[in-house]
Structure 1
Amino acid sequence: MEYETSKEVSQNEKNKSNFSFFKNTFEIILKNKAATLGLCIILFLVLVSIFGKLIMPYNPYLGSLSDSLKPPSSSHWFGTDEQGRDILSRIIDGTRISLRVGIISVAIALSLGTIFGSLAGYYGGKIDLIVMRFMDMILAFPSLLLAIAFMSALGKGIDKAIIAISIVTIPEYARIVRGCILSVRDSEYVQAAKVIGNNDLAIIFKHILPNIMSPIIVRATLGVSTAILETSALGFLGLGVQPPYAEWGSMLGSGRGYFFNAPYLVWFPGIAITVTVLAFNLFGDGLRDALDPKFRK
């Protein structure tokens, strides 16, 4: 009974410590005006992606040729495209697609990168040599060119874009995780975990990773903006998300032919991409400062 009580008290103290940490982190972010602005924009985009169907003035996939290339007006705030579809509705729908591709691709790359980086950093030797040389091979190619190559091999579509962007960004997370594990692999708490009989997987995922998550979280936050930018680039080239889906990059690609007589076809998707990428970058920079021990002190 005493053991269980002591264990519960220890768990409660740990929960309070975690709550205090997150509360302090959130307070530091709120003091950073740029990070707060980025967070507000991200929350707004998330709400738009969730409730977008309720606020769309028109169906983003239906249009009338008689309404094609209409300039911004009270009936169509952002104008219409070459097929008479409402641009505002398509940008709202594109928010869901861009966030989906960005978040899912980062989640996949982060998971696989964490596994590869953990194995390489913890075991070292031949495993480290094989894993990291393979990662270096991927990093030797520009990420966008490699994504284009994968899209050419896999085909076009949302799922293919997620896979391609995930693969080209795995090495970034693997190198970060490996470097962090190398810095703490010989720490006292790791040695203590070995002494009390924890296996390697328990040491890596239960003791090491929770203590090195700060730089990984920051890189993942910034990685979402990179993934959205690469998704837009693939869509602009006609290799990413395909019509009739309203993806911002493909909207840019289809609207570039009308740049001189209907420039709003390019302006509004471009602004959406710029604001979204900027928001994640601002929030990522603020999160990095908030998780920096020197800054917190």
Structure 2
Amino acid sequence: MENNLEIKDKFIDRTEELKEEKSFSQWREMWDMLKQNKTAIFGMIIIVILIIIAILGRYIMPYDPNVGELSQSLQTPSKLHWFGTDEQGRDILSRIIDGTKISLRVGITAVAFALTIGTVLGSVAGYYGGKIDMLIMRFMDVILAFPSLLLAIAFMSALGRGIDKAIIAISIVTIPEYARIVRSSILAVKESEYIQAARVIGNSDSAIIFKHILPNVISPIVVRATLGVSSAILDTAALGFLGLGVQPPAAEWGSMLGSGRGYFFNAPHIVVFPGIAITITVLAFNLFGDGLRDALDPRLRN
């Protein structure tokens, strides 16, 4: 009896080793293929630059982003103010640099929160099934029945204005996307042999889910999270444009568009440069996410 148990333990250990080796090999192949995708690398470079700007922004801003002179208002781009000034005489370049930190913070934090909650809910629904699955997924369907931006506006109206409230509202409306992806991925692998072997040796359900299942279905989750950051940044800008997101005098790209829309014909640079910043950021995350999706697709690797 003891010999049989030893053989079974060795078999499980060897299975885990082979699984880890296969996982490492797949990630290496993914990186090799990602490097061949020039648009994805371009997007990744832009993301790295944006992160550096967000971290070092206060050291590279030419002016205080929240202080201006009315006598300098609505100036066109010049040597002193590369992107011009807004209606209050504040330097637009400095405000865009400062807004990078806010947009990335909201986008990444909202996705991280939604990903965590969605992964837990999707894992429980997919692994246990039955009434638990039906209850969780029907609740997710209710949230998905409403347009995400409209629902975020409703949450902002209830929670109040501010960056923390924006993070909560955006994350709540995106939880169902991650829950559905995780659930479908778990349903595809939960009856695999290595999962059954993990049950035989007495692993708990939580250990099976987070140690054996999720590491093997992480690819679609990572891709969706990358693309989700761009969606979160767009939602943040939309809330700011409507006056529901980050409040003045904080420099947020959407609020800059909202406050400058009345000067579009007299001083178009007020809205052009924040709009370009939003476009470049969203495009960078989308390009990198698309390239990551292609690199993680085993059919394309083969």
**TM-score over 0.5 (shorter chain):** yes
Which of 104, 116, 140 is equivalent to 2:145?
140
The residue matched to 1:287 in structure 2 has which SS?
helix
Instruction: For structure 2, list consecutive stretches of 5 or more residues without a partner in the other structure.
Output: 1-12
The residue matched to 1:60 in structure 2 has which SS?
coil
Question: Which residue number corresponds to residue 8 of structure 2?
Answer: none
With normalisation by structure 1, the TM-score equals: 0.94
Does 2:217 correspond to 1:212? yes
- Residues 120/9 of structure 1: CA separation in 2 closer, same or farther (3 Å cut): closer
In 2, distance between residues paired with 1:230 and 1:218?
A: 19
Letter of the aligned partner of 2:271 in structure 1? V
In 2, distance between residues paired with 1:12 and 1:138?
A: 41
In 1, distance between residues paired with 2:192 and 2:242?
A: 48
Question: Which residue number corresponds to residue 4 of structure 1?
Answer: none
- Per-residue CA deviation, residues 83-113 of structure 1 (Å, 9 max, x unaligned), is 1000000000000000000000000000000
Residue 255 (structure 1) shift: 0.4
- Residues 87/193 of structure 1: CA separation in 2 closer, same or farther (3 Å cut): same
Letter of the aligned partner of 1:155 in structure 2? G
Letter of the aligned partner of 2:78 in structure 1? S
Which of 273, 285, 288 is equivalent to 2:293?
288
In 1, distance between residues paired with 2:253 and 2:240?
A: 8
In 1, distance between residues paired with 2:167 and 2:287?
A: 24
Letter of the aligned partner of 1:294 in structure 2? R
- Residues 126/13 of structure 1: CA separation in 2 closer, same or farther (3 Å cut): closer
Question: Which residue number corresponds to residue 3 of structure 1?
Answer: none
In 2, distance between residues paired with 1:38 and 1:256?
A: 29
In 2, distance between residues paired with 1:20 and 1:71?
A: 54
Letter of the aligned partner of 1:250 in structure 2? S
Question: Which residue number corresponds to residue 264 of structure 1?
Answer: 269
Does 2:81 correspond to 1:80? no
Residue 30 (structure 1) shift: 1.6
Question: Which residue number corresponds to residue 227 of structure 1?
Answer: 232
Residue 16 (structure 1) shift: 6.9
- Per-residue CA deviation, residues 202-221 of structure 1 (Å, 9 max, x unaligned), is 11010000000000000000
Which of 158, 168, 177 is equivalent to 1:163?
168
In 2, distance between residues paired with 1:237 and 1:104?
A: 21
- Residues 265/292 of structure 1: CA separation in 2 closer, same or farther (3 Å cut): same
- Residues 160/283 of structure 1: CA separation in 2 closer, same or farther (3 Å cut): same
Residue 294 (structure 1) shift: 1.3
Matches within 5 A, 1:37-116: 37-116=42-121
Which of 21, 31, 39 is equivalent to 2:36?
31
- Residues 71/102 of structure 1: CA separation in 2 closer, same or farther (3 Å cut): same
Question: Which residue number corresponds to residue 193 of structure 1?
Answer: 198
Question: Which residue number corresponds to residue 124 of structure 1?
Answer: 129
With normalisation by structure 2, the TM-score equals: 0.93
Residue 28 (structure 1) shift: 1.4
Letter of the aligned partner of 1:114 in structure 2? T
Instruction: For structure 1, list consecutive stretches of 5 or more residues without a partner in the other structure.
Output: 1-7
Count residues in correspondence: 291
Which of 252, 256, 263 is equivalent to 1:251?
256
- Residues 239/210 of structure 1: CA separation in 2 closer, same or farther (3 Å cut): same
- Per-residue CA deviation, residues 209-244 of structure 1 (Å, 9 max, x unaligned), is 000000000000000000000000000000001111
Instruction: Tell me the percent identity.
Output: 72
- Residues 187/23 of structure 1: CA separation in 2 closer, same or farther (3 Å cut): closer
